Amino acid sequence: MDTGEVAHLGERLLVVDDEPTVKELLSATLRFAGFTVSSADSGAQALESARRDPPDLVLLDVMLPDLDGFEVLRRLRGLPRAGGRPGPVPVLFLTARDATADKINGLRLGGDDYVTKPFDLEELLARIQAILRRTGAVPDDRTLVVGDLEVDPDAHQVLRAGRPVRLSPTEFRLLHHLVLNAGRVVPKAQILEHVWRYDFAGDTSIVDTYVSYLRRKLDTTGPKLIHTVHGVGYLLRRPRP
């Protein structure tokens, strides 16, 4: 996603992970989703970063080279939140340690959520936004906005330039997935997995068919939103000025 494409993003996230590949890929992905991201590869760096620039949320690995994530969480409790908001800095544990005892420990210490690797990006973004809403970092409003397109996941309502657009349940799931990934090319195989939950034996023609349905309903009344990236998939983005 491009920065600012989706409403209520732009909050400051701190990614703490000592695996360079994981840290860099996750940071880049979150920036595409519209967040402001800083990163650290040790507990000490994380605490220094949080003191210097208080985050809205910390994504924290448990296994770090100096302090473990649980100790970092304890020390974060005494640091201020972004914007001077009341309460402790929200923390989402993101780690390969999937033992139940670790999850219970992390939550008992005050962690807001616990996600194990490998993780689904869409689910992780949903969990991040849920924590931000719950802790008051963003308004409790899930409406997604790309240009003049508005998608309300709760009401299953779509507006284009203020006018309602009627979609079938499958069309809505497809559009919702494209909006969640606004500004990014979404491969057809990924769309099959997330929208239909199975792969149609690898036949991606169903994706092409439903994208054409969406275009007839969305792209005939205003600038083009849905773009084809030949040989890869589809891209939904705000129209260029």
Report all structural domains of the chain as residue ranges with CATH numbers, in order of start. Answer: 12-136 (3.40.50.2300), 144-236 (1.10.10.10)
| More confident: 197 or 37 | 37
Rounded CA separation 203/201 (Å): 6
C-alpha 215: how far from its chain's center?
A: 25
Query: For the ranges 87-91, 122-126, 212-216, which has the lowest average pLDDT?
Result: 122-126
The alpha carbon torsion through 158, 164, 167, 172 (nearest 10 deg) reads 0
**What average pLDDT score do residues 151-162 get?**
85
What pLDDT is attached to residue 197?
A: 67
**What average pLDDT score do residues 162-191 get?**
89
What lies within 8 Å, CB to CB, of 214 at 6+ separation is: 167, 171, 174, 175, 226
Q: Going along the chain, which residue ranges are E strands?
A: 12-16, 36-40, 57-60, 91-95, 113-116, 144-146, 149-152, 157-160, 163-164, 185-187, 226-229, 233-236
Is the pLDDT at 156 greater than 80? The verdict is yes
Which pLDDT tens digit goes with each residue over 32-72? 777 889 999 999 999 999 999 999 999 999 999 999 899 99
Residue type, 106: G
Is the pLDDT at 232 greater than 60? The verdict is yes
Rounded CA separation 13/50 (Å): 10
Is the pLDDT at 241 greater than 90? The verdict is no
Rounded CA separation 48/89 (Å): 14
Is the pLDDT at 5 greater than 50? The verdict is no
pTM over cut 0.75: no
